[in-house]
Amino acid sequence: KNNKNNKVIFEKPFGLDLESAKKLEINCIRVFGENQVFVLDHYFGKETIQNILFLKFANPFFENVLDNRYVESIELFVEEDLGVVNRIDYYNEVGAVKDIIQNHLLQTISLILMDRPLKFISKYIHDEKLKVLKNLEVLPYNLHLMGQYQSYANEAKIYGIKNPKTDTFAKIFFNCKNKRWEGVPIIMRTGKKLEKKCARLNINFKPLSKELESSVPGVQNNKIIFHIQPKEDIEIVINVKKILESDIVHTSSFSLYKEYAFDPNPSDGHKKLISDPINGDHTLFPTFEELEE
Ligand code: BG6
């Protein structure tokens, strides 16, 4: 029997496509109130992801340069060294795009692209994220890449799956068609059995004008790098003059987490995302509307 203090947490996949997700949503709401249901995206339990909104909105000088006047491109990637290990039954149905891009990466990008919410409370944050998701479009390029790692077919064969067409690698280009971001390529990339495990969000700023660039050799484009894992950090790459020299540029990286006591073995995110539903806090959980988008 449903008691209104019950909470239900869904791990993905929340349906396998729009139709099945909507059906699940309707059935959930029929049994539970919307406030009782939480769809978990464990990336939102990660410190660096939660820090995106703080960096942006607690520091006006960052907020004011995050748009298409200054940003050249945004890259977001989750690369893994492991293959599908023992999850082939699940993975073979979904592939890289549904496993990582449609949830973790679209959710993360909605934080970096969203405008300042009216208030910093769950409802308004979700309203802004939703606007971003509605404006995101896959670019009509032939540069998108999908692939499959070499031993995947053999692994699949052990489970009786022949000639699997599943993507284990995907690189997709998006555009956000609003005034703030129109024209800035957003590149998302994910894959299994790659060189190493690494998840990052890079905001690449535009280069200096050609004239300035040639008069300051060695100058690099500014960057903000959100290190999601294995290391957690926010790094800012800027150019400064070398001490006692006149025109040689030295590129410095400021590590913003250095000063603080961060957990050397960070949780993958699930811990926090179990306690929030107990407290009825929806801030870090995608809404059904976001999922549909
Ligand atoms: C899960 C995917 O959501 O995220 C897995 O289903 C993937 O395939 C995992 O390995 C990656 O999570 P993390 O926290 O290690 O980046």
Considering only 3-7, 51-55, 88-92, which range has the smallest mean pLDDT? 3-7
Ligand 1 pocket test, pick from 80, 82, 270 with the greatest ligand atom count within 8 Å of Cβ, gives 80
Pocket of ligand 1 (CB under 6 A): 78, 80, 99, 199, 229, 268
pLDDT at position 266: 66
Structure tokens at 228: 């999601």
Q: What pLDDT shows up at residue 111?
A: 97
Give the pLDDT confidence of 94-147 residue by residue, as tens digits.
999 999 999 999 999 999 999 999 999 999 999 999 999 999 999 988 889 999
pLDDT at 260: 57
Q: What is the pLDDT of residue 219?
A: 81
The residue type at 200: R
Spatial CA neighbour of 190 closest among 168, 175, 164: 168
pLDDT for residue 264: 62
Contact 176, 186 (CB under 8 A): yes
**Dist. CA 233–CA 77, nearest whole Å:** 15
Atom of ligand 1 nearest to the CA of 78: 16
Q: Which residue has the higher pLDDT, 35 or 264?
A: 35
**Stretch 166-179: mean pLDDT:** 97
Q: To the nearest whole percent, how much of the chain has pLDDT over 90?
A: 69
According to the model, what pLDDT value does residue 213 have? 72
Partners of 167 in the β-ladder: none
Question: Rounded CA gap, 150 and 193, in Å?
Answer: 9
Distance 92 CA to ligand 1 centre (A): 15
Q: What's residue 262's pLDDT?
A: 58
User: Kindly report the CA angle at 74 between 138 and 228, in degrees rounded to 5?
Assistant: 110
- C-alpha radius of gyration, the chain, whole number: 21
Tell me the pLDDT band of 66, cut-offs 50, 70 and 90: very high
CA distances (Å), origin 125, targets 132, 173, 182: 11, 25, 21
pLDDT tens, position by position, 230-283: 988 898 888 887 777 766 666 677 677 665 555 666 677 787 899 899 999 999
Confidence class for position 203, pLDDT limits 50, 70, 90: very high
Name which residue sits closest to atom 5 of ligand 1, judged by CA: 99
Point out the residues that are catalytic: 104
**Mean pLDDT, rounded, of the chain:** 90
pLDDT, position 208: 80
